[in-house]
């Protein structure tokens, strides 16, 4: 899986979507992002993540250790999902897309 710092790390220290300070920010080469914020509106830590054009999700955690652990697990699951997304030209696009939707639903349930 290929995750690198989003925008070469320039977002670190800026305000995130949950009104916290971004402490980690990664982007997947195939089109996904995962961001950890601290001291946001609702919890000590928040993780926002998504696969571009498919879903966006936020979860809340109580410690940096929990956030880092969840982030690693989420990156692994998101990598699996993003690699299963079919091309629009795939003859089995609808069935494969349904599988992606199911995987996203399971992801949200796991990282609620």
**Residue range 75-84: average pLDDT?**
97
Query: pLDDT at residue 108 above 90?
Result: yes
Q: What is the DSSP string of 40-57?
A: -SSSSEEEEEEETTTEEE
pTM of the model: 0.92
What CA–CA distance (Å, rounded) separates 12 from 61? Answer: 19
**Residue range 49-71: average pLDDT?**
97
Query: pLDDT at residue 1 above 90?
Result: no
């Amino acid at each position: 899986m290929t995750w690198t710092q989003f925008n070469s790390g320039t977002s670190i220290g800026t305000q995130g979507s949950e009104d916290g300070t971004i402490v980690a920010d990664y982007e997947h080469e195939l089109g996904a992002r995962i961001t950890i914020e601290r001291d946001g509106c609702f919890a000590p830590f928040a993780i926002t993540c998504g696969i571009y054009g498919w879903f966006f999700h936020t979860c809340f955690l109580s410690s940096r250790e929990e956030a880092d652990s969840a982030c690693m697990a989420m990156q692994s699951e998101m990598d699996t999902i993003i690699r299963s997304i079919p091309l629009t030209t795939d003859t089995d696009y609808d069935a494969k897309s349904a599988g992606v939707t199911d995987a996203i639903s399971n992801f949200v349930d796991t990282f609620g």
